[in-house]
Amino acid sequence: MRPRTGPPDIGCARLDPGAGMLEQARRRPELDIEWILGDLGSMSWEREFDFVVMTGHAFQMLLGDDELRAALGAVRAALTDGGQFGFETRDLLTRAWESWTTETPVEVAAGAGASMRMTRQVRSVDGEIVVFTSTFGVPGGSAPGDSDSTLRFLGADRPDVFLAGAGPAVDERYGDRAGGPPGEGSPEIITVARRTPA
């Protein structure tokens, strides 16, 4: 999140509920960022930021309608008038989870020339809700570790329904990370919304 005012040397704030993620992030002391452990429900910012972003498909971890509305309300409160909110979610219609199998590993760079292998195995699909297990390991290394996750996949029109209720109006919409147009077959719903005056 980028603050609205202050001298040029003031940086950003990162809010994250994962202590481990923040521990890793703090290893970059050259970044001018305030690292905050918590979630949107634990903060009460009012018109503090020009831009708020949810990265890494974090938007999909808002599983219930009430949870999603509360998060969007907190984002709107944190934005200045005209401030923007950016987020991405995988499009329900592309059914991305169907390619998540133990036979389709993903290689992730782990630094210093090392890599980590990740596989995902879907446990259940119930409408928009997908439960799966990710398995992480270093090729030829120690025993892999598992992490269980639950994500919500929204159809292309669904984010706008929740945004309309919370206040931010859609400014821009993309269908992939290269800035391609949204629509049938695009893997992502990438949205930039703007807080408009009440």
Q: Which domains does the chain have, with CATH numbers?
A: 2-91+154-194 (3.40.50.150), 94-150 (no CATH)
Angle ∠(19,20,24) on CA atoms, nearest 5: 115
Q: What is the mean pLDDT of residues 112-134?
A: 90
pLDDT digits (tens, 9 = 90+) for 2-52: 444 443 334 588 888 888 888 888 887 777 888 889 888 888 889 999 999
Closest CA to 169 of 135, 145, 146, 192: 192
Q: Give me the pLDDT at residue 111, please.
A: 66
User: What digits encode the pLDDT tens for the residues 45-101?
Assistant: 899 999 999 988 999 999 999 999 999 999 999 999 999 999 999 999 999 999 998
Cα 71 from Cα 60, distance rounded (Å): 12
